[in-house]
Amino acid sequence: MAGKKTTEFEVGRDAGTGQFIPVSDAERRPKTTIVETIERPSNTHKPGKR
């Protein structure tokens, strides 16, 4: 059986405060920021739940 499909996306994070910031800002300030890749299941809909 094949593994579950995942969706990957990048987010920027300030290393000092932990706040999310745009990736473009994170790439501009590499000493104080981190660009993280986050995976999440592509099918998050659960039938029968509202």
For 28-42, how does the pLDDT look when each residue is reduced to its tens digit (9 = 90+)? Answer: 999 999 999 998 877
Residue 31 in tokens: 């000493």
Q: What is the pLDDT of residues 17-29, one digit of tens each?
A: 999 999 999 999 9
Q: For 5, which DSSP code?
A: P
**pTM reported for the whole predicted model:** 0.63
Higher pLDDT pick, 16 / 43 = 16
Residue of 14, 5, 11 lying closest to 40 (CA atoms): 5
- Find, among 34, 43, 48, 36, the residue nearest to 9 by Cα: 36
CA distance 1 to 8: 21
